[in-house]
A and B are shown apart, each in its own frame.
Chain A
Amino acid sequence: MDIFSLAFVAAVLASSAPVLYAALGGALCGRAGLFNIALEGQLLWGAFSAVTVSWWTGSAWAGVAAAVVTTTLFSGILALGAVTWRADPIIVAIGMNLLALGLTGFLLRELLDATGTFAPAGLDGLPDLSFLDGVPLLGPLLARQTVLVPLAVLLAVAASLWLYRTSAGLRLRGVGEHPEAATSLGVPVSRYQNATALLAGALCGLGGAQLSLGNVTAFTENMTAGRGWVAVAAVMLAANRPLVVLGACLLFGAAEAWGFRLQGLGLPQQLTDAAPYLVTLLVLVASRLRVRRRLGAADPVAAVSAAHPETVVHPEESR
C-alpha cells in the first residue's frame, strides 16, 4: 500500500481538516482557561446549518457563511452559561452536545423533510481547487480539496503566531495561566474568555461546513460521530499548542485515511471505523504518561490533580 504517495497525503489532509478546525477552537479556549468539550455539538451544528442554507440558497458559500454565524451564536450558550454565569462548563457542554444532536435531527425532518440522510441531487458543495491541476506538488495535494482544507493548516500556523508573537495573544495566555495576575494588569478576563468561546464556535462552523459540503456533500444524522471528542483529545495531547494540535489532527486523519484503504482490501468497515479513535486515545495516553513521569518526580500533588483540569478559571475565586 503506497501510504507515502501524495494521493494518500491528500486523503489525510481532507480527513483531518474538520477535526483540526474544532481542535484549534478548543486549544484557544484552553489557553483562555476554558475547558471546551462542546466541540462535538458545535461541529454537528455547523455541518447541518451549512447544508441547510446551501440547499435553500443554492450557494455553498452562503452555507459556509451561515455555518460560521449560527455556530458562533450556538457557542454563545457556552460563553453565557460557563463564563458569564459561571455554570459548570462540563454540564453546559453535555447539554449543548445533546441539544445539537436532537435539534439537527428534529430540523432535518421539519425543514428538509428527510430522515437519516439528506443528500439531494443539486445540493451545492464547495468547489475543488482544480486550477492547481498540473502544478507540481500542490496539484496532487490540493487540486481535489476545497479551499477550507489549506485554510485550516494556515489557521493553525496563524493561531500559533498570534498566541506567541502578539500582545493580544500574550494576554490570552495570561488569562488562562494566571487570571488574578491578568486582572491586576487590567486585562478583562471574562471578555477574553467569552470572545474565545465565540471564536471556537466560528471555527467549528468552518469545520462543520468542510465536513458536510467538502468531504462529502450531504448531511447525515450525527455525522460528526465523535470527531469533536477526538478534537478534545487532540487539544489535551497538544497541551493547547496550535502547531502540535495540527500534528495530532494529521495523525487522526492518517488513521482514518488508512482505514479507508484497508476497507478497500476487504476489511470490514466496522473495524476500520474504530481505528482512528483508538489511535488518538493511545497516543494521548502515551504522551500524558511521559509528561506525568516528569511531573510526578517534581510534584506528586500536581500529578494527582492532573486528571482534573481546572474547567474554567475565574479571577476572584480563590484556588
Chain B
Amino acid sequence: MTGLLDRLRLRAPAALVPLGAVLVALLIGAGIMIAAGVDPLRGYDAMIRGAVSVSNIDYAVASFTAILAMSLAFAIPARMGEYNLGGDGQLVLGGIAAAVVALYLPVPAVLLLPACLLAGALGGAALASVSAPLSTRAGVPVIITTLLLSAPAVAFTSYLVRFPLAEQGSPVPQTPRLPDAAHLPSFPGTSYTNAGLVVVLLVLVLAVYIDGRTPVGYEIRVAGANRGFAAYGGLSVPRLTLGTLAAAGAVAGLAGAIIVMSQPFRFIDDALTAPGYTFAGVAAALLAGGRPALLPLTSVLFTILTVGSAGMERDVDVPRQLGQVLQAVVILVLALRVLAFRWTARRARGAVGGKV
C-alpha cells in the first residue's frame, strides 16, 4: 500500500503537468478576458458553444480531423528528436496535388477518391523528404529547413491558384469545384464531417501500432533517445530520418487533400493555412508528450480552442487570436515541466536519505 502511494506520488507530476499546463493557460485566458472587459465565464461558455453546439459541431469535427493529422505530422519525427515545423507547406502541397489529380488527370471515377488521397500524401511527403538529406548530409537542422521550405511552398500554391489553376472569372483565388467523384462521402446529416475522419483515425491507429509494436518504431525511439548510440548499434539514422519525415509529410499532405475534398470542394488560397491547424497540431503533440495514443484527446482540446475562439469572437467580441495565445501558454508551461520533474527528483533523493 505504501509502495503504491509512493509510486503515485512520484508519478503524479508526469500526469499532472499537462493538466496543470491547460489549467494555467485557462487562468491566464480568464485574466486576459477580464482585462478586455469580458466575463471569463461568458467567454469560455461562448468558446465551448462555438465548438460543440449543435450548429457548430459538424464544422468542428472537420477541424478536429485536420488538427489530429497535423499533430501526427509533428509527433512522428519528434519521436526521433526532429522538429517538423513545416506543416503548412506540406498541407498546401498535399491539397494542391489532390486538386490537380481530381481536376486534370483522366482517372476512372471509382478510383478518383484513393487517387486524390494518394496524390495528397505524396505531395506532402515529397516536400518533407527534402529536409532529411539536408539534415543528415548537409547538417542543417530539420526545424530550420522545414520552416524555410514551408513559406515558398505556400507562396507557390498561392501562385498556382491565382494563375494556371484559377477558376476563370472568380473574384476569389481558387480552383474550380472538384468533380463529384472526388467528394469525400459525408456522414448522414452532416456536410463537413466525412470519410476523412475515418482515414485519419486509421492512420493514427497505424502510427500507434508502428510506434509501440514494431522494430521500426523501436528503432525510431532509440534514435530519439540517443542518436550516437543508434548509429553505433548499426541503425541507419539517415534512413530513419527520411522515413519519419516522409511519413509526417504524407499525413500532413493527406490532411490537405481531405480539406480540399470536403465542402466547398475547392482549393481556396489561404483557406488551408489561415485556421492555424499546423500549430494547433504542434501544441496537441507537445501536450500528448510522446504518447501517440493521447493525440486524439489533446487534439480535441486544441480543436475547441481553435474553432471555439471564432465563436467567442462572434458572441462576446473577444478577438479570436486569444485561442492562439492560450496555445502558446500551454506550450510554454509544458516546456517548464522540467521544474516539476526536478522537484520530484529532489523528493526522491530526500526519500532515500539524500545519498544520490
Contact = CB atoms under 8 A, between A and B. Distances in A.
Interface of A: 37, 77, 81, 85-88, 90-92, 94-96, 98-99, 101-103, 105-106, 108-110, 225-226, 229-230, 232-233, 236, 268, 270-271, 273-274, 277-278, 280-281, 284-285, 288-289, 291-292, 301, 303-309
A91 B144 CA distance: 14
A88 B156 contact: no
B138 A289 contact: yes
Contact of A94 (B81, B139, B331): B331
Contacts of A281: 140, 145, 148-149
Given A303-B139, A307-B135, A96 B324 contact: no
Given A229-B144, A236-B140, A289-B137, A90 B332 contact: no
A237 to B, nearest CB: 9
Interface string B318-356: 010111111111011011111100000000000000000
A274 B332 contact: no
Contacts of A102: 321-328
Contacts of A230: 148
Given A95-B335, A110-B36, A103 B325 contact: yes
B113 to A, nearest CB: 30
A248 B211 CA distance: 40
A285 B140 CA distance: 7
Nearest to B230: A304
Task: Provide the main secondary structure of the chain B interface.
Answer: helix
A291 B337 CA distance: 37
Contact of A226 (B141, B148, B227, B336): B148
B10 interface: no
Interface stretch (B42-50, B157-165, B257-265, B291-299): B157-165
A19 B335 CA distance: 27
Contact of B279 (A98, A285, A303): A98
Contact of A305 (B228, B319, B339): B228
Nearest to B232: A301
Contacts of A90: 83, 143
Given A98-B279, A277-B152, A268 B328 contact: no
Given A277-B151, A288-B139, A88 B335 contact: yes
B42 to A, nearest CB: 17
- Nearest 3 A-B pairs (CB), nearest first? A102-B324, A274-B152, A99-B328
B196 to A, nearest CB: 26
5 contacts: A96-B328, A106-B319, A233-B148, A236-B140, A291-B139
Contact of B321 (A91, A106, A309): A106
Contact of B151 (A91, A103, A106, A225): A225
Given A85-B339, A232-B144, A308-B81, A95 B331 contact: yes
Given A85-B336, A106-B325, A307 B147 contact: no
Contacts of B228: 301, 304-305
Contacts of A280: 148
Contacts of A106: 32, 319, 321-322, 324-325
Contacts of A278: 152
Nearest to A225: B151
B231 interface: yes
B134 A285 contact: yes
Nearest to B330: A95
Contacts of B321: 101-103, 105-106, 109
Interface string B293-327: 00000000000000000000000000101111111
A263 to B, nearest CB: 12
Given A106-B322, A270-B155, A305-B228, A98 B335 contact: no
A158 to B, nearest CB: 27
B175 to A, nearest CB: 15
Nearest to B32: A106
A98 B334 contact: no
B245 interface: no
Q: Which of B32, B83, B138, B145 has the most CB of A within 10 A?
A: B138
Contacts of B329: 95, 99
Interface string B26-48: 00000010001000000000000
A284 B319 contact: no
A256 to B, nearest CB: 12
Given A98-B328, A285-B138, A86 B338 contact: yes
B237 interface: yes
B239 to A, nearest CB: 13
Contacts of B337: 87
Given A95-B331, A105-B324, A110-B36, 6 more contacts: A94-B331, A95-B334, A109-B321, A281-B148, A288-B138, A289-B138
Contact of B139 (A86, A98, A270, A292): A292
Given A230-B148, A274-B155, A292-B137, A105 B319 contact: yes
Nearest to A104: B321
B335 A91 contact: yes
A99 B279 CA distance: 11
Given A81-B336, A288-B140, A292-B137, A91 B286 contact: yes
B147 A229 contact: yes
B156 A270 contact: yes
A271 B139 contact: no
B85 interface: yes
Contacts of B138: 285, 288-289, 292
Contacts of B328: 95-96, 98-99, 101-103
A94 B227 contact: no
A284 B335 contact: no
Given A281-B149, A288-B139, A98 B324 contact: yes
Contacts of A110: 36, 319
A225 B323 CA distance: 20
Q: Which of A236, A270, A280, A306 has the most CB of B within 10 A?
A: A270
